[in-house]
Amino acid sequence: GVRGTQEQPSPAASPSPLPAKSGELRVANWPLYIDLEGGKSPTLNDFEKQTDIDITYKEDINDNDEFFGTDLRQQLASDQPTGWDIITMTDWMIAKLSRLGWLEPLHHEVLPNATANLDAKFQDPYFDPGRKYSFPWAAGITGIGYNKKLTGRPITSINDLFDPAFKGKVGMFSEMRDTINFALFQLGVKPPDSATMDDIERAVELLTQQRDDGIVRAYYGNDYTDQLAGGNLALTMAWSGDVNYLKLDTPELEFVVPEEGGNRWTDNMAIPVHAEHPTDAHEWIDFVYQPDIATRITEWVWYESPVAGVQDLIREHAKSDRSLKPVANSGLVWPSEDVLANTYGYKILSEEEEAAWHDLFDPLVQG
């Protein structure tokens, strides 16, 4: 049953000693998040060859919450292995999992590549100080995607999301943290970490007003992309990488990090507690932190790589492969310092806060 954990969350626990390598590994990642060539992933092949580990790489994650619900929650609550050795979760979920004590602390000493090559800006994130539990896989920004033709003007501000001129043509995210962040930016509450419960109430009020004014068409998950591409949305909250790709087929689309601020997110590899092959899991993390491997992945995935020097390598490759040009120089894949300065993470929530936020936010998206 879904029994509660009697075990106290112990974020301070030191890593337990690693067992012997087992030669087996089960990785859960998002679909299409790794390079492919002719139906196979060269990275996975190389990994198997080089490490002699039999890897089961599953594109099994569709959604942070859903994966938590279907693959982690009950398993870990009843102290059973999840079946996964590596999971790839967004930052706030890493925070939540570590809060619940459901992540295995990492042995940095067996991660020479990772520790050496991790780009400085990823080294000490707010959600996992000191990279105790996780290493990033890729990173991106939540901003605004818009259709130049439909808006008729460049979009620069979150304010535009609240502009009655775009009544019924604005998309917001059903993802609570992203959307609340935007409302906080609009209210000038920055960084989100500083938001009080009052701020959140105001934020939801603002959003409710936006909804009731008929400005919001709907709250979207992944499916905002087709609505944006199909011209049903003039502007919408969006992920940087998506718009990057959408532009290729629909050139009138643009992505902007609003002047009030955008959300910075990373997807991070972590090892859930009770993982059966933690040693092999460490090998995987270290393996993908080799710059040439990371480059190969990034050239395919088009999201910012946390591995230092990857952009340079891609630029190098782009000289011979024109198709790599867009990713090599994209300001979206490789946000500048300025842009990054205007992006924020999510507030780390205690369980009570999370519940309180949901009580405020859920009625918004559920009418």
User: For residues 286-325, which are near other proteins according to CB under 8 A?
Assistant: none
8 A C-beta contact, residue 146 and residue 155: yes
Among the listed ranges 14-22, 182-190, 198-206, 216-224, the one in contact with other proteins (CB under 8 A) is: 216-224
Q: Of 147 and 342, which has the nearer Cβ to other proteins? A: 147
**Contact with other proteins (CB under 8 A): which of 22, 42, 48, 77?**
77
**Contact with other proteins (CB under 8 A): which of 218, 308, 318, 348?**
218
**Contact with other proteins (CB under 8 A): which of 59, 109, 213, 259?**
59
Distance CA 73, CA 325 (A): 42
Please name the amino acid found at residue 87: I
Q: Give least dist CB 282 to other proteins, A.
A: 19
8 A C-beta contact, residue 157 and residue 241: no
Residues 163-182 that bind other proteins (CB under 8 A): 167-168, 176
8 A C-beta contact, residue 56 and residue 25: yes
Distance CA 283, CA 53 (A): 9
Supply angle C-alpha 307, 309, 314, rounded to 5. Answer: 105
Distance CA 191, CA 193 (A): 5
- Taking alpha carbons only, the member of 164, 200, 209 closest to residue 182 is 200
Q: Give least dist CB 35 to other proteins, A.
A: 12
Among the listed ranges 1-9, 12-20, 113-121, 288-296, the one in contact with other proteins (CB under 8 A) is: 1-9
Distance CA 142, CA 184 (A): 14
Q: Of 123 and 209, which has the nearer Cβ to other proteins? A: 209
* Number of residues this chain uses to bind other proteins (CB under 8 A): 75
Among the listed ranges 87-95, 107-115, 152-160, 228-236, the one in contact with other proteins (CB under 8 A) is: 228-236
3-state secondary structure of 95: helix
Residues 322-351 that bind other proteins (CB under 8 A): 351
Backbone dihedral angles phi then psi of residue 122, each to the nearest 5 degrees = -100, 0
**Contact with other proteins (CB under 8 A): which of 211, 277, 282, 347?**
211
Asked if 188 interacts with other proteins (CB under 8 A), we say: no
Q: Which two tokens stand for residue 271?
A: 């090892």
**Contact with other proteins (CB under 8 A): which of 223, 259, 292, 316?**
223
Among the listed ranges 111-119, 224-232, 308-316, 338-346, the one in contact with other proteins (CB under 8 A) is: 224-232
List CB contacts of 13: < 8 A, sequence separation 6 or more: 101, 105
Distance CA 96, CA 355 (A): 12
Residues 16-55 that bind other proteins (CB under 8 A): 26, 28, 30-33, 36, 38-41
Distance CA 151, CA 252 (A): 10
Q: Of 114 and 280, which has the nearer Cβ to other proteins? A: 280
Residues 113-152 that bind other proteins (CB under 8 A): none
